[in-house]
Chain A
Amino acid sequence: MEQYDVICIGGGPAGLAAALSARENGAGRVCIIERDMELGGILQQCIHKGFGLQIFGEDLSGPEYAQRFINEVRNSDIEVKTDTMVLEITPQKTVYTLNPQQGYNILQAKALILSMGCRERTRGALAIPGSRPAGVLTAGAAQRLVNIEGCRIGRKIVILGSGDIGLIMARRMSLEGAKVLAVAEIMPFSSGLTRNIVQCLEDFQIPLLLQHTVSEIRGRNRLESLIISKVDDKLQTIPGTEKEYICDTLLLSVGLLPEIELPFASGITLDKRSRGPRVNESMETSIPGIFACGNVAHVHDLVDYVTEESRKAGRSAACYVRGELKPAAAINIVAGEGIAYVLPQEIRPANCREFFELFFRVAKVYTNAGVNVFINDKKIKSYHKKHMAPGEMEKLKIKPEMLIAAESIKLEIEQISC
């Protein structure tokens, strides 16, 4: 059985940054396992710009951003296993892998970093009524077919969901010569970045239908048309508002979910809010020495934040291997009113030397609102925010002195009347 200090499962932006950081922070033998044929993860199909503004101060494409990390990995002694699938991990950090050339192998690590990213919600998960024809696919699958495989997926397209991938694909399909009829969004706001709404929809005169959803799919073989209906405040379709759109393709950008097969099967505690593993200040999961970072922990809007978070996970894994990560009393962090999720879900003050960042998303759009921080149920701070939307991740700094004698931390949003 091959022995490693740290194994990163997944060679996308999270795994790359985590592995580099683990190695830089003193971990000995480090390995990245990637199921695709090459490193870079989903970035390889994101050929648009907008990556790296925070980390590099440059506007890079996805493959360019990934390549900087891939080059660093190639120039290091980090081992890379591509075209390799992890079938199973154990709490003892044994990793079962499968690769066409090297076959079926069992590896042993001192620390594991889960960096498998996320997957897309599907038509099935939404239970959209109607027929089940060809031509209904997730935006990410479409993006792979178009940008990597060089395929043409449709001529007349409707996009359901205004998440970032949906918006990006609206522009991409337009550039590919297809007609994008509309982007329908069930919520009264888009979950995508504002810059993407401007650059991908408005610049291409693609209508964004807020509070609308696909209420029926038609066409027995290939998609023939869709019925789009308006929805009420309870997200129920309103009879009489149906409109038929003749199209051959429906792309779904209706949410991303952390890829939790491995943590679920190995008994790692999952968080109902983030849908990923519960993590502490070191990005460590409920099993000591198993860390999670990037979209497997929670779905990020910017890859730059994935990189930052994953560097922290890599550093923590190196600490763990050296025996320096202390098991200690933990403070629970609770997502209160108006908060969709908060991460990490717990903090061990003994492991926090400097200030500490909390990441959270709000559950709906807020203008003029306060983010209240409660410690032991007592409001100790309130931050004023002009605008917050579920599509944009928020950050909050917590200073170590705030944690003295803290037993619980709660975040809550308060609407401030103007």
Chain B
Amino acid sequence: MKYDIVIIGAGISGTAIANALARYERSVLVIEKSNDVSNGASKANSGIVHAGYDAEPGTMMAKFNISGKSLYPELCTRLDVPYRKTGSLLLAFSDKEMQTLEELKKRGDINGVQGLQILDAPDVLDREAHINPDVKAALYAPDAGIVSPYELCIALMENAMDNGVSLWLESPVKNIRRSRRNYLIETSGKSVESSCIINCAGVYADTVHNMLLPQMFTIRPRRGEYFLLDKYAAGQVGHILFQCPSAQGKGILVAPTVHANVIVGPNAEEISDPDATETSARGLKEVWETALKSIPDLPYNQVITTFSGVRAEPSSGDFIIRDYPEMPGYIDVAGIKSPGLTAAPAIAGHVVEMLETQTGKMQQRSAFRERRRELPHFHQLSHEARRELVKKDPRFGRIICRCESVTEGEIVDAIHRNAGAKTLDGVKRRTRCGGGRCQGGFCGPRIIEILSRELDIPREKVRKDNAGSGILFETAAEEVYHGTV
């Protein structure tokens, strides 16, 4: 099997690049080790489109943050992904932090961030009633925004596939060899040949790099833990609220989500295992207590879930986006830590240019489908549109997820799209089914039923997430019948 370009990793970088490449007459394959796209750091982060004042001027982080941010409104409209410009407030509680605001404002001005303003305390409290009254000032960035990171990834991949890009899931890369003209990529199942490789392997990007090149950088896994609060807490916060950054990162934020929840986190903890997405009592305590500095009355009884994500922290301190003369066709897109989500659409454009520099101008596909097939957002439809939709397809008349009002029709649709849902968590990320306050208590059994029916697999084969995460066991009688005991 041969493709022109193989992208390793279906996180935000990989899917954004796949989507950008889908416009050209090139055969593209995305290889992902997990069983779904967006199943690493891209699903477990703050979901912020950053204004761009954090990064040192001149870094790639600064450059792609600014250019990436400006692509968001159009991109999210095109792909029907929830995105909202909320503005952000960076809060200062001491004179020293006031100074930080000044420095960051200056840095933002140099980076080209528009509209940055330092607000005094009354002005801050006027905008956010629940903020700690000890606040001294805040750096206001009007064009910071929020996005659903996993929905964006899924949409990028789906739209890429609608335009001919292929996706292999559950295919961890075992080895890469270079033959005279091509690369041979061996995954756990099958092998594939290609003339270009784009390494978007996230926390494993150094491992992939080292398969072909001498070690030039390392990726350290850095874990961040989060709380997600019920929609009943939505009134607590309207802007993204940052605290002053430290060496460990941008600090703990409290922010609304595009689905009207409130997100709180992350801390930053160096860990050794890139897959260690556990939460810890100590870490969660740290996050919550720090967040109380921003919003003292943050309601703990509205917590609906906790989770953690492992970010890829590059040894270089900046994004590693580069090619190598000795390895033509190979590009690293590594160490894409924050603001990686914001930067991704711009990085994708940059990678296309890098490829064109190497392999010559690529021809645009004549029939590129800009938009995804329309998503049935039942919840958002008018009375009349709801009535029509149910008449056409009765499955839209059955609510499966009570917390988020998701219909059976939406779930079935999410399963059968390109890059569709195959697991409970996959359904959750695409439809919000099970992502509400009951966390799948009511809808779980019914989604198992729907997945089993639509994928034509027995219920015991329906999984929560990756291999080994089955929910149901065979009954004792079935075990005897199948000889599994």
Contact = CB atoms under 8 A, between A and B. Distances in A.
Interface stretch (A24-32, A142-150, A197-205): A142-150
Given A98-B390, A104-B386, A134-B471, A83 B398 contact: yes
A65 B227 CA distance: 41
A264 B278 contact: no
Interface string B382-398: 01001100110011111
Contacts of A133: 464, 469
A261 B464 contact: no
A138 interface: yes
Interface string B440-461: 1110110001000000000100
A196 to B, nearest CB: 21
Given A124-B304, A129-B284, A152 B391 contact: no
A72 B462 CA distance: 40
A172 interface: no
B463 A98 contact: no
A222 interface: yes
Contacts of B368: none
A221 B465 contact: yes
A104 B394 contact: no
Q: Main SS of chain A's interface residues?
A: mixed
Contacts of B459: 149, 151
Given A85-B402, A124-B305, A152-B473, A137 B281 contact: no
Nearest to B463: A134
Contacts of A124: 228, 303-306, 439
B98 to A, nearest CB: 34
A154 interface: yes
Given A85-B402, A155-B473, A222-B470, A103 B391 contact: yes
Interface residues of A, number: 50
A119 B444 CA distance: 14
Contacts of B232: 264
A237 B281 contact: yes
Contacts of B387: 103-104
Contacts of B473: 152-155
A125 interface: yes
Contacts of B303: 124-125, 127
B465 A134 contact: yes
B383 A106 contact: yes
B194 to A, nearest CB: 31
A340 interface: no
A277 B305 CA distance: 25
A101 interface: yes
Nearest to A133: B469
Contact of A222 (B283, B306, B391, B469): B469
B476 interface: yes
A220 interface: yes
B33 to A, nearest CB: 13
Contacts of B438: 119-120, 122
A53 interface: no
Interface residues of B, number: 57
Q: Main SS of chain B's interface residues?
A: mixed
A123 B390 contact: no
A135 interface: yes
B469 A145 contact: no
A323 interface: no
Given A98-B399, A104-B387, A122-B439, A152 B445 contact: no
Given A119-B441, A141-B440, A144-B445, A131 B469 contact: no
Interface in A82-107: 83, 85, 87, 96, 98-104, 106
Contact of A152 (B280, B440, B475): B475
Interface in A105-129: 106, 119-120, 122-125, 127, 129
Interface in A250-275: 261, 264
Nearest to B475: A152
A261 B403 contact: yes
Given A103-B390, A119-B438, A221 B383 contact: no
Contact of A132 (B283, B307, B403): B307
Nearest to A139: B441
A134 B460 CA distance: 12
A83 B394 CA distance: 12
Contacts of A222: 468-470
B195 interface: no
A152 B441 contact: no
A150 B386 contact: no
B280 A129 contact: yes
Contacts of B301: 125
A130 B279 contact: yes
A152 B284 contact: no
A154 B471 CA distance: 9
Nearest to A144: B445
A101 B464 CA distance: 31
A132 B278 CA distance: 7
Contacts of B465: 134, 221
Interface in A214-232: 215-216, 218, 220-222
Contacts of B278: 129-131, 218
Contacts of B304: 122, 124-125
B397 A101 contact: yes
A184 to B, nearest CB: 16
A158 B442 CA distance: 21
Interface in B401-446: 402-403, 405, 407-408, 437-442, 444-445
A237 B284 CA distance: 14
Nearest to B394: A100
A163 to B, nearest CB: 14
A177 interface: yes
A82 to B, nearest CB: 11
Interface in B278-315: 278-281, 283-284, 301, 303-307
The 5 closest A-B pairs by CB, nearest first: A124-B305, A221-B468, A100-B397, A134-B464, A100-B394
Given A123-B439, A149-B459, A151-B459, 7 more contacts: A85-B399, A106-B383, A122-B304, A122-B305, A132-B307, A140-B441, A222-B468
14 contacts: A87-B405, A102-B397, A120-B438, A124-B228, A124-B439, A134-B470, A134-B471, A144-B445, A149-B445, A152-B473, A220-B466, A220-B468, A221-B469, A261-B403
